[in-house]
């Protein structure tokens, strides 16, 4: 039996009033990479993110939310007839979330197909073994801020459908193409200028009118590999005066992008 949640003429029907055990288990399973892969799906949590995703052309499988949230967002929901709408209670959202604090809405979204890599003359990022999901998400947001549409990730980077990555991107995930690459193959065929962020390069502020290329950033602990630095036309450094050994990789990304891309 179906209930009409909001009103019949909005054509939003609920299959049932509250979540079933197996729905909770399904949603919760998507906080693990193996299940995201198996179901080709991922989670988007929280009001702001959910609105960004619903306003996009993403294929939404499920919208699980508090009744109040569903009522307030009829119009957005109406744009996604493919989505199953599930009204949930607080404690059900708490049981389903992968985040520390349960949000009022969780979306289950289909993973987009990997698009082929396009040769462009635009700026791009290359991330080598960036492993912290918060950093990855923040970097995707930085790319979006500076109009960078392409991020290449080595295969040992954190998986980008991780809920913490999605959370940190604040919707920018929808506007940036992420390609997972084999570093050796990529470097062999690459023709773009590479700017490699490291501790022993020239000051990033000394490059005059740099031409668009690929800005490379490395792992949180060890930075970029020797191979990548050797392949770069410009090893670049952020000059500092203090005693900190390094900067957070997302902060470094922001500083290098701001210095190179005007």
The residue among 148 and 194 lying less far from its own copies, judged by its C-beta, is: 148
Q: Is 45 in the site for its own copies (CB under 8 A)?
A: no
Q: Where does the chain have alpha helices with state H?
A: 21-29, 33-39, 47-54, 67-72, 74-78, 90-96, 133-145, 163-169, 183-189, 226-231, 249-260
Judged by CB under 8 A, the residue of 34, 191, 208, 262 near its own copies is: 262
Check binding of 259 to its own copies (CB under 8 A): yes
Restricted to residues 180-219, the positions that interact with its own copies (CB under 8 A) are 205
CB of 133 to its own copies, least distance (A): 12
**What CA–CA distance (Å, rounded) separates 36 from 189?**
31
With contacts defined by CB under 8 A, name the span among 82-90, 107-115, 156-164, 236-244 that binds its own copies: 236-244
Query: DSSP alpha helices (H): ranges in 73-132?
Result: 74-78, 90-96
Q: How far is the CB of 145 from its own copies (least distance, A)?
A: 4
For its own copies, give the closer residue by CB, 67 or 134.
134
d(CA 174, CA 164): 15
Of the residues 134, 159, 180, 193, which one makes contact with its own copies according to CB under 8 A: 134
Our finding on whether 238 is near its own copies (CB under 8 A) is: yes
Give the list of residues 6+ apart from residue 125 with CB closer than 8 angstroms, or none: 139, 143, 148, 150, 151, 152, 214, 215, 216, 217, 253
Part of the chain binding its own copies (CB under 8 A), chosen from 13-21, 32-40, 189-197, 234-242: 234-242
Nearest alpha carbon to residue 61 among 42, 44, 80, 83: 83
CB of 260 to its own copies, least distance (A): 11
Q: Which residue, among 88, 31, 34, has the nearest Cα to 62 in the 3D structure?
A: 88
Task: Identify the residue among 49, 61, 103, 253 touching its own copies (CB under 8 A).
Answer: 253
**Kind and range of the H or E run holding 125:** strand 124-127
- Are the C-beta atoms of residues 239 and 203 closer than 8 Å to each other? yes
97 binds its own copies (CB under 8 A): no
CB of 55 to its own copies, least distance (A): 12
**Residue ranges in 139-168 that form contacts with its own copies under rule CB under 8 A:** 141-148, 168
Closer CB to its own copies, residue 208 or residue 241? 241
Q: Which residues bind its own copies (CB under 8 A)?
A: 134, 138, 141-148, 168, 170-172, 175, 205, 238-248, 250-255, 258-259, 261-262
């Amino acid at each position: 039996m179906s209930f009409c949640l909001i009103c019949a003429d909005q054509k939003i029907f609920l299959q049932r009033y509250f979540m079933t055990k197996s729905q909770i288990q399904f949603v919760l399973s998507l906080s693990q990479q193996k299940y995201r892969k198996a179901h080709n799906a991922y989670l988007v949590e929280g009001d702001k993110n959910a609105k960004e995703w619903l306003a996009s052309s993403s294929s939404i499988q499920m919208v699980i939310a508090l009744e109040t949230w569903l009522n307030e967002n009829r119009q957005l929901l109406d744009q996604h007839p493919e989505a199953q709408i599930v009204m949930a209670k607080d404690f059900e959202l708490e049981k389903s979330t992968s985040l520390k604090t349960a949000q009022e809405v969780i979306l289950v979204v289909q993973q987009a197909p990997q698009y082929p890599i396009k040769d462009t003359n635009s700026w791009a990022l290359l991330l080598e073994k960036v492993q912290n999901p918060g950093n990855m998400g923040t970097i995707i947001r930085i790319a979006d801020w500076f109009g960078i549409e392409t991020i290449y990730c080595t295969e040992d980077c954190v998986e980008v459908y991780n809920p913490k990555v999605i959370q940190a991107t604040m919707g920018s995930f929808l506007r940036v193409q992420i390609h997972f690459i084999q570093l050796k193959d990529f470097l062999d065929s690459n023709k773009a200028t590479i700017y490699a962020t490291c501790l022993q390069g020239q000051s990033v502020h000394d490059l005059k009118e740099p031409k668009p290329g690929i800005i490379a950033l490395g792992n949180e602990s060890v930075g970029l590999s020797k191979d990548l630095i050797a392949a770069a036309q410009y090893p670049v450094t952020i000059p500092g005066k203090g005693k900190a050994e390094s900067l957070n990789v997302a902060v470094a990304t922001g500083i290098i992008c701001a210095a190179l891309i005007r």
